[in-house]
């Protein structure tokens, strides 16, 4: 049993990792004894979008286990970041796990991740933008498992009932405002979305703004472009044609859309898996998000397959990741729960096989990646709180706070 000082250090690291990437010897795994036996048991921890994704990962893990002679347990996290933080601090991490791009730098700086990128022969098949999201100190640490973008999902039955046709799909902010108002009737809200920058940030991009500059060395939050975007969101909320998912008693935009409470939602291509599994009777179409004053815009998301540096099964874990990231397996995941392959060779096949996902696939050409600065997750959490205060919150203050909070993190450096 560790002494009180060690326990205090563990608790402090657990509390600080999400904010600062707490770097210490705990969980570094540099001296971890490696298991070289022919039969090993590995654990995978995932943060799932739903039953379809959970089943797909379990099926893939079982297939690899049968092929390799090892065994695998897939665990579903209730709070992925919290559980990973605690497991790293306690030096008992899962062998393989999801690492969201917006939290990657925290874990990499904390010394918790095993960098296996140099063991992968065909990393060039993964899009450069995705590779950069999971590169730290010049090393590709982990492989992106998939990619997703945002599009506008439209309930086609409600669309027709409102007297709208294919020619009415909105291509501008003004048109989106018009159709959202027309579709809002009774229990149906024209547009429902998550109350987060990970959805509504698309309007910032379409207005010509964003949170940081391209290389993430300077904050660009407090600008007239970003203010124009949040003012537009606020105007929709005031009109009642946009509601946050929680305002219609749902957990996310996809649930509101599936239950017929939203005629439109802003969601990623993971929506297809949820709709197929949970709401198969809802007819819908995904169309590009309407362009803003500066043109088209969407957000890109990815998660990598992390391997714990403290794992005693690193060789087997990397072999498992290689299996999970083959083109064949990525296309199976795409079919099961809607994510797009992170391999460029597989993405072209996906686009041909899934013409209904064209809006999401085409958006990869102009998508904005996430902010991947170590310690920035709390800044973004506070920004979400500001977004949640709309339409009553003061846009100028929300952006000024984001600017100030972000500059403080950048000033600390890495």
For residue 267, being part of any structural domain is answered with yes
* C-alpha span between 321 and 74 (Å, rounded): 13
- In the block, tokens 């450096």 appear at 413
Residues 90 and 219 in one domain: no
For residue 142, being part of any structural domain is answered with yes
Pairing of strands 71-76, 135-136: unpaired
For residue 87, being part of any structural domain is answered with yes
pLDDT at 273: 81
For residue 4, being part of any structural domain is answered with no
Q: Are 120 and 322 in contact (CB under 8 A)?
A: yes
What φ, ψ does residue 145 adopt, rounded to 5°? -85, -25
For residue 22, being part of any structural domain is answered with no
Average pLDDT over residues 8-35: 44
- Residue 399 burial (C-beta neighbours within 10 Å; 0-12, 13-18, 19+): buried
Give CA separation, 82 vs 20, 28, 191, 395, in Å: 14, 18, 31, 30
pLDDT at 191: 98
Residues 391 and 320 in one domain: no
Residues 141 and 158 in one domain: no
* Residue, of 304 and 347, whose pLDDT is higher: 304
Residues 355 and 260 in one domain: no
Residues 250 and 114 in one domain: no
Q: What contacts 100, CB < 8 A, 6 or more positions away? A: 47, 80, 81, 301, 303
For residue 6, being part of any structural domain is answered with no
Give CA separation, 252 vs 25, 33, 243, in Å: 38, 43, 11
Residues 277 and 332 in one domain: no
Residues 95 and 185 in one domain: no
Q: State pLDDT tens for residues 168-221.
A: 999 999 999 999 999 999 999 999 999 999 999 999 999 999 999 988 899 999
pTM reported for the whole predicted model? 0.79
For residue 317, being part of any structural domain is answered with yes
For residue 125, being part of any structural domain is answered with yes
Residues 392 and 320 in one domain: no
**Domain of residue 317, residue span:** 37-147+302-365
Of 47-56, 314-323, 402-411, the range with the lowest mean pLDDT is: 47-56
pLDDT above 90: residue 369: no
- pLDDT band for position 151 (50/70/90)? very high
Residues 356 and 387 in one domain: no
Q: State pLDDT tens for residues 277-318.
A: 899 999 999 999 999 999 999 998 899 999 999 999 999 999
Residues 160 and 86 in one domain: no
- In the block, tokens 């096949």 appear at 349
Residues 142 and 55 in one domain: yes
CATH number at residue 387: 3.40.190.10
Count: domains in the chain: 2
DSSP run (H or E) holding 15: helix 4-20
Residues 53 and 185 in one domain: no
């Amino acid at each position: 049993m560790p002494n009180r000082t060690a326990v205090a250090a563990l608790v402090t690291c657990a509390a600080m990792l999400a904010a600062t990437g707490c770097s210490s010897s705990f969980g570094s795994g540099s001296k971890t004894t490696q298991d070289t036996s022919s039969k090993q048991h590995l654990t995978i921890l995932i943060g799932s979008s739903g039953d379809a994704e959970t089943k797909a990962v379990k099926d893939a893990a079982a297939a690899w286990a049968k092929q390799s002679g090892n065994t695998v347990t897939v665990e579903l996290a209730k709070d992925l970041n919290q559980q990973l933080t605690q497991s790293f601090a306690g030096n008992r991490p899962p062998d393989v796990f999801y690492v969201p791009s917006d939290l990657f730098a925290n874990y990499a700086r904390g010394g918790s991740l095993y960098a296996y990128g140099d063991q992968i022969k065909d990393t060039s098949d993964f899009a450069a933008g995705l590779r950069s999201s999971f590169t730290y100190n010049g090393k590709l640490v982990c492989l992106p498992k998939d990619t997703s973008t945002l599009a506008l999902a439209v309930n086609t039955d409600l669309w027709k009932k409102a007297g709208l046709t294919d020619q009415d799909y909105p291509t501008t902010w003004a048109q989106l405002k018009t159709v959202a108002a027309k579709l809002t009737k009774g229990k149906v809200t024209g547009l429902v979305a998550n109350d987060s920058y990970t959805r509504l940030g698309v309007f910032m991009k379409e207005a010509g703004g964003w949170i940081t500059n391209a290389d993430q060395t300077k904050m660009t939050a407090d600008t007239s472009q970003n203010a124009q975007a949040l003012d537009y969101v606020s105007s929709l909320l005031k009109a009642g044609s946009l509601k946050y998912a929680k305002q219609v008693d749902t957990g996310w935009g996809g649930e509101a859309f599936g239950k017929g409470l939203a005629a439109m939602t802003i969601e990623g291509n993971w929506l297809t898996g949820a709709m197929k599994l949970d709401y198969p009777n809802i007819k819908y179409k995904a169309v590009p998000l309407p362009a803003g004053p500066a043109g088209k815009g969407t957000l890109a998301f990815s998660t990598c397959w992390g391997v714990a540096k403290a794992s005693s099964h690193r060789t087997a874990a990397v072999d498992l990741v290689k299996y999970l990231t083959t083109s064949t397996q990525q296309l199976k995941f795409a079919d099961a729960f809607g994510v797009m392959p992170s391999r460029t060779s597989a993405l072209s096949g996906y686009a041909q096989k899934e013409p209904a996902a064209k809006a999401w696939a085409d958006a990869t050409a102009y998508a904005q990646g996430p902010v991947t600065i170590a310690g920035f997750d709390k800044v973004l959490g506070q920004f979400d709180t500001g977004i949640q205060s709309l339409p009553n919150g003061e846009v100028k203050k929300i952006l000024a706070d984001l600017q100030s909070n972000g500059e403080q993190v950048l000033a600390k450096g890495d």
